A and B are shown apart, each in its own frame.
Chain A
Amino acid sequence: MQFNVLVVDDSAVMRQMILRTLRMSGLPLGELHEAANGGQALDVLRTAWVDLMLLDINMPVMNGEEVIDHLRADPETADLKIIVVSTERSDARIERLAAKGVAFVHKPFTPESLRDVIVDITGISHEQPAASEIALLGDGLDF
């Protein structure tokens, strides 16, 4: 089974880094979507099926926490798998986000840490990456 992913971050560079990490991960990916803020993310969700959202918190227009509240209040999207990828370090806010049923990955992140959280939250097992991809993943790089 392939799963569709929506990456939401106001930084175009960070979106590209996350997408590159996903492509290297060996996970069975379907469609990859991008949004630069919460409002755009909701627009994408109205027109495309998304299985997993990778979401920044500090964004203009509609921040990540507002997006989570909006999605959880809508029966159509209440169960959407969400991973917050953020610089957020406050234990109090991370606990508040966890109570809303989201997983959390700190920036900067390693490809392995992001992949492991995706596997954990989706229950999808990852395919064996190609040798060249293993070398990249094992490079100890942080994103």
Chain B
Amino acid sequence: MNSLQLQRSLYSATASTFEELALLCPSGDMGVEQRQLPLVGAASVTFDGPLRGELVLSVTDQVLAAAASNMLALDETPAAALRRDAVCELANVICGSLLPHVAGRRAMFRLGAPRWRAADGSPAGSMAAFGAPVSEVLMGLEDGRVEVSLFLVNTWTSVEGVLP
């Protein structure tokens, strides 16, 4: 798997998860305003197994509100705790969907409980300290935007080494 294939897998896992779970479809080209919307927080999921790392899903306020409303089939915006919980669950499903594409269908991983942190200018996710993500996806959803980053503690060489 090369970096382009990894990014495609990450994009596919993100798009299908938002579409199927939160009824939010990726928009085509994002305008300048949409690209500049502030990210209000991020959900991160650590994983451990043949590979160790973390997936971080950062969202704008538009996605934070719409995801929870759609998942709960509510007309009004749910409470803040439920909005954060919805994004955490989405990050969990994206991570679970992605890992078999990276490490093979028989590889077993242990996923940590998703954690939320509000945007405060520092890098989201505890693995960010290990360096740049191995893959990133930027996606427009409705009027908002998400950014997904995949961090690996193992080197990229080890990713190729576990491929089936």
> B-contacting residues of A (Cβ < 8 Å)?
10-14, 16-17, 20, 58-60, 86-93, 107-108, 141-143
Contact = CB atoms under 8 A, between A and B. Distances in A.
Contacts of A16: 72
Interface string B81-120: 1100110110011011101100001111111111000000
A18 B42 CA distance: 24
Contacts of B14: none
A35 B150 CA distance: 30
B113 A87 contact: no
A142 B71 CA distance: 10
Instruction: Report which residue of B19, B23, B92, B100 has the largest number of chain A beta carbons within 10 angstroms of its beta carbon.
Output: B92
Interface of B: 17, 19-21, 23, 68, 71-73, 81-82, 85-86, 88-89, 92-93, 95-97, 99-100, 105-114
B105 A13 contact: no
Given A11-B88, A17-B72, A143-B21, 15 more contacts: A11-B86, A11-B89, A14-B89, A17-B71, A58-B113, A88-B96, A89-B99, A89-B105, A90-B100, A91-B105, A92-B107, A107-B21, A107-B93, A141-B23, A142-B21
A115 B105 CA distance: 26
Contacts of B82: 12-13
A107 B85 contact: no
Instruction: Report which residue of A86, A90, A142 has the largest number of chain B beta carbons within 10 angstroms of its beta carbon.
Output: A90
B139 to A, nearest CB: 17
Main secondary structure of the interface of A (DSSP, over half): loop
A86 B100 CA distance: 14
A11 B105 CA distance: 25
Contacts of A59: 113
7 contacts: A11-B114, A12-B85, A13-B82, A60-B113, A89-B96, A107-B21, A107-B96
Contact of B106 (A58, A90, A143): A90
Given A13-B82, A16-B72, A108-B93, A142 B20 contact: yes
Nearest to B45: A58
Contact of A93 (B81, B88, B108): B108
A17 B20 CA distance: 13
A108 B20 contact: yes
B72 A87 contact: no
B72 A108 contact: no
B110 to A, nearest CB: 8
Contact of A13 (B17, B86, B99, B112): B86
Contacts of A143: 20-21, 71
